[in-house]
Amino acid sequence: MSVTTPPAATTRPSQSPRVHWRHRLAERGVDGQLWLLAPAVLFVVLLFLYPFFYGLGLSFQPTEGGPFSDYARFFGDAYQRGTIWTTLGLALPAALLNVLASVPIAYRMRGRFRGKRLVTILLVVPITLGTVLTAQGLLNFLGPTGWFNRVLLALHLTDEPVRLVHNYWGVFFSLIITGFPFAFLLVLSYLSGIDPTLERAAATLGAGWWQRFRAVTLPLLMPGLATTFCLTFVLAFSVFPSAVLVGNPAGETRVISIAAYQAAYEQYDYPYASAIAMVMGFIELVIISVVLLARTRLYTGSSGGKG
Amino acid sequence: MRVTAPDFSQLRLDGVSRRFGSQDALTGLDLTIQAGEFIALLGPSGCGKSTALNCLAGLLPLTAGSIWQDERRVDTLPPERRGFGMVFQNYALFPHMSVRANVAFGLRMRRLPRDEIRRRTTEAIRLVHLEEHADKLPGQLSGGQQQRVAIARAVVLEPSLVLMDEPLSNLDAKLRLEMRTEIRRLHQSLGLTTVYVTHDQEEALSLADRLVVLRAGRVQQIGSPQTLHTRPANWHVADFMGYRNLWPMRAQSAQGALVEVEADGFRLVGDPVGDIAPGEAVMAGVRPEDVRVDDPGEAATNTMPAEIEVVEYQGRELAAEARTAAGIRVHLRTDRRVAPGDMVALIIDPQRLLIFPNDSDEQPSGPLVDEVGTRLEEPGLVG
């Protein structure tokens, strides 16, 4: 560094030398590391954006009638339209239960204790099973001659087997078994992100455990719960295999994805199937928007923890 | 804020102990705190001071012992029923609540009338000079302001005991001094019984009525700032209280009330702390400010020729490090303008050189001799 002032310095204000383009790009976050995003962008374009817009276009080109006639057909047919309510009737309670059940368990499981890893593995292992294995397990366990009903009968709690598969409840249980681990892991990580000192501070200020949870932990956890709800809801809303395997795909668990599947692979009406898929996506979008809009009203800043 | 008469006369810790697994974090802490007193728990990190505070607050269960507030046993109560206020090192403000809501939290938990909550909250916020920030979230405040909120939140309940866990350690030097004065002012005006944990001896000396020095989970000394400053109970406390010069030596003979000590043919006369028999291993300690610097001259008692090696400018004074002919490093403070390479005489008043029994093989925290290699050349110092 030179000690003498360069003569240019006196004329600098009028010259205002342009900042090097590299600095200007870096200011906007454009640098070499951006290339790390390339595979993800390619993936999204090829496997999501292209098929989505292709389907969207297809849904406006029905085999007969105007561009909206397939949508009109779907909403005009009560049997088809009803799949929306059937799916929502499964996905909303299942997602809600997954989130609500995760909270107390994750609340107890944060921090360290002996056997935490084992319990976590047990809670998370259903993720690895896959829907088909879960369905088979449910059929064996909850079926008319399954262990559950045999125990009920043996204890004379019931005279005839309780029907828990091939109906609404079979699909519901399947959604809980596959969705809960996701919800639990997410809620656990959100909870670990909340500084445990906050609850200690609340305790020294005279708050009992319920007040501590209600006034401190829950408000800080709510944004995380909203996100978790959205993710498990999306998982549950696109339910297909379990609706067929442990549900009643012709009746009470004829979900919207079954309607789309039948249009595409039983009637070979791709435009109609695309229209149903678009309706499905739109409903998901509406629910998520509502939840995320509500989430913006919550405190979403730092909660002081390691998260 | 009203100065309330304390609702107890003394708080008694009776053999309070805490183990973590096989590790003793705190062993048999006996301490009686008078109402209105400001107690500092002082010690290096890991000495058990925070453990003691958390045990008092009820955030950690005791392994043994009991805590009594007059005749009321409090160690069996959960934290929310002890009625102690606590200020945390990281402030632990509720990030989703405004300053006002944070301060009001404890009052709300007590289900006080709305008017009273508002009045006392406003008063507490005024006490810590945060009126114009009352509606902000903690994240919008500076560290010092957050600490003020934490203090207001704890004292608004007029707790019988305020616990402070290194409340100033996250602040920068200037703010730390300001907040120190603030805490002292609050304590003097409100008369709140306070237990204050710190590793900063200066902070403890300036704030506390009484200091408790802990080391490895055990109490080393309990006493007034003056006592700890001038008469540490052992060399560990001395090490912690700013006796930067600690030299392992051997006792030779008593000289009246004083004792002569020796290392490697080098002799000093100092004031013994406790009983010291001739031949015993001792630790001789003196503060840097008690080492006088003079021109080199004749040999006399406690006068050592030395060469100045390192000099740090510290405003009015210089902090310097000198090496004596015998190879001992001496930390000193002087207002003489010394420079590295100067030959000087170092003089220590025998009353200011404390001779402690050296009970362990441990070395003082500051290395006696910087390089490991040079220590081996001075076997007399280590023995």
Give the total number of structural domains in chain A. 1
B10-230: CATH topology is Rossmann fold (3.40.50)
**What is the percent of chain B with per-residue pLDDT over 90, rounded to a whole number?**
62
Pairwise CA distance, residues B158 & B35, whole Å? 13
Nearest CA in chain B to A302: B95
The per-residue DSSP string of A270-296 comes to HHHHHHHHHHHHHHHHHHHHHHHHHHH
Q: Which of residues 183-212 of A touch B (CB under 8 A)?
A: 195, 197-198, 200-208, 211
Domain at A198, CATH number: 1.10.3720.10
Q: Please check whether residue B342 is in contact with residue B293, taking contact to mean a CB–CB distance below 8 angstroms.
A: no
Enumerate residues 6+ apart whose C-beta is below 8 A from B277: B251
User: Does any domain span residue A146?
Assistant: yes
Residue A284 sits at the chain B interface (C-beta within 8 Å): no
Residue A204 to residue B105, Cβ atoms within 8 A: no
For A201, the closest chain B residue by CA position comes to B92
CB-neighbour burial class of residue B41 (10 A; exposed 0-12, middle 13-18, buried 19+): buried
Give phi and psi for A203, each to the nearest 5. Answer: -65, -45
Helix, strand and coil content of chain A, in percent to the nearest 5, comes to: 70, 0, 25
Structure confidence at residue A156 (pLDDT): 87
Chain B residue whose CA is closest to A198: B92
The answer to whether position A33 is within a domain reads: no
A275 falls within a domain: yes
CA geometry: angle at B203 spanning B105 and B36, to 5°? 55
In whole angstroms, what is the distance from residue A162 CA to residue A174 CA?
17
CA–CA distance from B79 to each of B198, B229, B307 (Å)?
22, 35, 57
Q: Is residue A110 a part of any domain in this protein?
A: yes
Size of chain B, expressed as the number of residues it contains: 383
Task: Please check the confidence at residue A16 and state whether its pLDDT lies above 70.
Answer: no
At B292 the pLDDT is 92
Count contacts between A and B (CB, < 8 Å): 79
Minimum distance, in Å, between the CA of residue A210 and any CA atom of chain B? 11
Q: How confident is the model at residue A131 (pLDDT cuts 50, 70, 90)?
A: confident
How confident is the model over B231-262, as pLDDT tens digits?
999 999 998 888 999 999 999 988 888 999 98
- ipTM comes to 0.81
Is A179 inside any structural domain? yes
A41 within a domain of the structure (yes/no): no
Structure token pair of residue B183: 């805490």
Determine whether the interchain pair B95/A201 forms a contact, defined as Cβ–Cβ distance below 8 Å. no
Please indicate, yes or no, if residue A178 is contained in any of the structural domains: yes
CATH architecture of the domain with range B243-382: Beta Barrel (2.40)
B317-324 and B303-314 strand pairing: antiparallel
Segments making up each domain of chain B, as ranges = 10-230, 243-382
- Within 8 A of B58 by CB-CB distance, chain A residues are 203-204
Domain ranges, residue A219: 83-296
Q: Answer whether residue A290 is part of any domain.
A: yes
CB-CB under 8 Å, B154 with A299: no
Minimum-distance CB partner of B109 among A206, A220, A302: A206
Tens-digit pLDDT string for chain B (383 aa): 544 445 788 999 999 999 988 888 999 999 999 999 999 999 988 889 999 999 999 999 999 999 999 999 999 999 999 989 999 999 999 999 999 999 999 999 999 999 999 999 999 999 888 999 999 999 999 988 999 999 999 989 989 899 999 998 888 888 888 889 989 988 988 888 999 999 998 899 999 999 999 999 999 999 999 999 999 999 999 988 889 999 999 999 888 889 999 888 788 999 999 888 888 899 999 999 999 998 887 778 888 889 999 999 988 889 999 998 888 899 999 998 889 999 999 999 999 999 999 876 666 654 333 333 333 333 333 33
